Amino acid sequence: MLTIDTAAIGKALLEIIDKKEASEKLTNEQERKEAANNIRNLRSKFLEQHGEQLRSILEEVYDDLSPDSSVNPPLDYLANHYKLIGTNEKGNVYDVNHQEGVPIDTDEYGENPTKLVILPNPLRVILNIDAHTREEVWSVNF
């Protein structure tokens, strides 16, 4: 059985997201290139160390919501943009808008364009159901 270190996954995801969000504020082209390279390295390291574990979490979610669908590569479920909403003892706390995520077909929500997205701190998977509705479908706290 695969042991899932959710604390390490969350910490590594938080590092990627923090660096990505900080890089979007850079104005110097050389600094932006260095930041992009750093983020690529962090993503590669993440997949090497935690990709299998995160895939296992996503497979659990798919088994519940859309058992006939395939899981995408784990980092596809990161949002394009995160909104900083606060901090806690583990670091920054982020949220995302309802348009973020990977589309998923699920009979439970009819014709709504549902999307899955991963948020760290605490590590969780959110199902964005429509422009106003979302559901936490997996959490380290479950």
Q: Residue ranges per domain, the chain?
A: 6-139
- pTM of the entire predicted model: 0.90
Contact 34, 21 (CB under 8 A): no
Give the pLDDT band (50/70/90) at residue 130: confident
Please compute the mean of the pLDDT values over residues 112-131 and round it to a whole number. Answer: 93
Checking if the pLDDT of 1 tops 70, the result is no
What pLDDT is attached to residue 142?
A: 67
Give pLDDT, residue 88.
93
Radius of gyration of the chain measured on its C-alpha atoms: 15
72-117 per-position pLDDT tens digit: 999 999 999 999 999 999 999 999 999 999 999 888 887 788 999 9
Cα separation of 127 and 102, whole Å?
Answer: 9
Q: Is the pLDDT of residue 2 over 80?
A: no
Round to whole Å and give the CA distance between 82 and 97. Answer: 8
Which is nearest to 59 in space by CA: 128, 137, 135?
A: 137
CA–CA gap between residue 20 and residue 47 (Å, rounded): 16
Residue 109's pLDDT is what? Answer: 82
